[in-house]
Structure 1
Amino acid sequence: MLDTHGRKYISPLFKGAANIFLKLNMTPNNITIIGFIIGLLPFVFIYFDKPLIAVILLWVSGFLDAVDGEMARISKMSTPLGTLMDVTFDRLVELGVILAIALKEPKSMLQLLFLTSTIIISMTVFLTVGALSRNKGSKYFYYQTGVAERTEGFIFFTLMILIPVHLQLITSIFSIIIAITALQRFLEARRILK
């Protein structure tokens, strides 16, 4: 929801960074890979009790995730491979955070398993609708909006990392919001895929 409705306010920041990287002869896929590598580092810092560094790296990877898409649109270099890398790497970064937290907080394993399950269901609907729909947006595939998009995910992951004393509650709320998003996307799919 924040990605869809708030993007217009921070889009100039993404465009500015995208133009800088393009002037440095970097491609969107270069930035996707750099963002992915940075996005894997929070696993290490969560595990070794450096939550603030983990959160900063998570948000830097998220920033680069937005910038690579902006670069692809500006340079008209959107490709199926870039889309595949983007979606896959996003999930791997999320799984890295969840796995690191699970290793540190085994008492929250059930909530983390439920969170992972809701992410899988929501992404299954999202990707299936994207594959079955004509491209209606500026991305390479049809993009379904929802209550929980990337920014909401980063906010909840940040809370999970920084406030482990309330991990079970935060994770449960996050899971419910993702489940609502999956249902919302499924109902939209019923309407558009008839």
Structure 2
Amino acid sequence: MLDTYGRSYVQPIIKRTANRLLNWGLTANQVTFAAFMIGISASVLIFWGHPFLGVAVLWISGFLDAVDGSMARQSHSSSSWGTVLDVTFDRIVEVGIIIALALRHPDPTILFLLMLLSISIIITMTIFLTVGAVSDKESEKSFYYQPGLAERTEGFILFSLMVLFQSYLVLVTIIFIVVELITGLQRLLEAKRILNETK
């Protein structure tokens, strides 16, 4: 939701950063790899007991994840391979955060909730990617980007709350699960509407 409606406010910063990195001779895929490595380091920092630093690094990774797409569009180098890398690396970074929290909190209740969170993310992303693959609708990305209650920014906010307020990990994880499931249902209903329109 925030990605869809708030992107215009941060886009000038993203575009300036993209321009600067392109002027330095970097490619969009190189920044994608950099964002991935930084994102993975966030989970390592969280596991080592540095939640504030881990969250800061996570958001840097997320910012670069937005910059790489802008770089690809500005340099006319958008590719299907770049999209595959971007989506795959995003999920690995998220899994890394979940694993780091699971290792720090091996309580059965928390582990069960983290498992449910992983399942809810899988369901929501499956709907998102499937609709993007079968839809004829277009967006600025290389596939149809389906908006929803929980997009990348909401996920980062909820992951940040899980990391920074680990004494409330159960509550925040439950909220995250509910938000993901609502998003999945929202996208499923929109998918039905979109596909009915194409008949």
TM-score, scaled to structure 1: 0.98
SS at match of 1:134: coil
Structure 1 residues 92-131: aligned runs within 5 Å = 92-107=92-107, 108-131=110-133
1:151 aligns with 2:153: yes
Measured in 2, the distance between the counterparts of 1:135 and 1:83 equals: 17
1:42 aligns with 2:32: no
How many residue pairs get matched?
A: 194
Cα 1:81–1:135 shift into 2, 3 Å: farther
RMSD over aligned CA atoms reads 0.7
Runs of 4+ in 1 over 6 A off after TM superposition: none
1:3 aligns with 2:3: yes
Please name the residue that 1:165 is paired with: 167
Amino acid at match of 1:88: T
TM-score, scaled to structure 2: 0.96
Measured in 2, the distance between the counterparts of 1:106 and 1:13 equals: 40
Please name the residue that 1:15 is paired with: 15
Please name the residue that 2:134 is paired with: 132
* Gaps in structure 1 of 5+ consecutive residues: none
Per the TM alignment, residue 135 of structure 1 is displaced from its structure 2 partner at its CA by 4.7
Measured in 2, the distance between the counterparts of 1:166 and 1:21 equals: 39
Identity of aligned residues (%): 53
SS at match of 1:193: helix
SS at match of 2:144: coil
Amino acid at match of 2:80: P
Per the TM alignment, residue 168 of structure 1 is displaced from its structure 2 partner at its CA by 0.4
Measured in 2, the distance between the counterparts of 1:42 and 1:139 equals: 26
Structure 1 residues 24-63: aligned runs within 5 Å = 24-63=24-63
Per the TM alignment, residue 31 of structure 1 is displaced from its structure 2 partner at its CA by 0.3
Please name the residue that 1:86 is paired with: 86
